[in-house]
Homo-oligomer: A and B are copies of this chain.
Amino acid sequence: MTVACVSRKAKPGAKRKLVLDQFAPYRIVALGHAVSGRLARAYRDENITIPEWRVLAVIGEASAVAARDVVKRTPMDKMTVSRAVASLEQKGFVKRAPHKDDRRVSMLSLSQEGRDVFDRIAALALDFEDDLMSTLEPEEAAAFRLALEKLEERAKAEDA
């Protein structure tokens, strides 16, 4: 497939201008925002907030995890996770059990009700993903996913 987008190479001397519409980081963040807002519809009806959904999702796929693991797997700091867990526990969606040999950590798991909520939201989320990704050809989609991985790794790299 031919692509209309102009490849912009770094020309050492030429001062490029910052044009938002062509500035990849901006476009990435903008897409993230749009996607995030769209996903929010899936759990708004369940009275679940964004951080809560993230916690649900991590616990949902791993059955039992510590809060610190949720922190590692999501873009949230530990306070946000702590609050979301407390709220989910309050609502009866998440249960805590003591870790057998480290009494600092609680192991988190879903209650049956929490599992139900998770399943409902997950179904909607997967539908959305299908709808979203259907705008790309299969090879395009695969390439996009691969690019996402590479870029994220690079973006997270600590070097200057």
Secondary structure call for the A interface = helix
Q: 9 tightest CB-CB pairs across the interface, nearest first?
A: A32-B32, A34-B155, A33-B75, A18-B122, A3-B142, A144-B147, A135-B154, A29-B32, A25-B35
Asked if B5 and A142 make an inter-chain contact with CB atoms under 8 angstroms apart, the answer reads yes
A27 interface residue per 8 A CB criterion: yes
Residue from A3, A73, A160 having most chain B Cβ neighbours under 10 A: A3
A147 and B142 contacting across the interface, CB-CB below 8 Å: no
- As a 0/1 sequence over residues 138 to 151 of chain A, the CB contacts with chain B under 8 angstroms (1 = contact) are 11111111111111
The residue of chain B having its C-beta at the shortest distance from the C-beta of A76 within the complex is: B33
Contacts A18-B60, A20-B57, A35-B151 aside, 10 further interface pairs with beta carbons under 8 A come to A3-B146, A5-B145, A7-B141, A28-B28, A32-B33, A34-B75, A135-B153, A136-B147, A143-B143, A144-B151
Residues of B within 8 A of A79 (CB): none
Residues facing B in A10-38 (CB within 8 A) are 10, 15-20, 23-36, 38
Q: How many copies does the complex hold?
A: 2
- Of A89-97, A101-109, A126-134, the one contacting chain B is A126-134
A150: which of B18, B30, B136, B139 is its contact (CB, 8 Å)? B136
Subset of 19 A-B contacts with CB under 8 Å: A3-B143, A4-B146, A5-B145, A5-B146, A7-B138, A7-B142, A18-B57, A18-B60, A19-B61, A24-B132, A24-B133, A25-B38, A25-B125, A25-B129, A29-B75, A132-B151, A133-B151, A135-B153, A144-B144
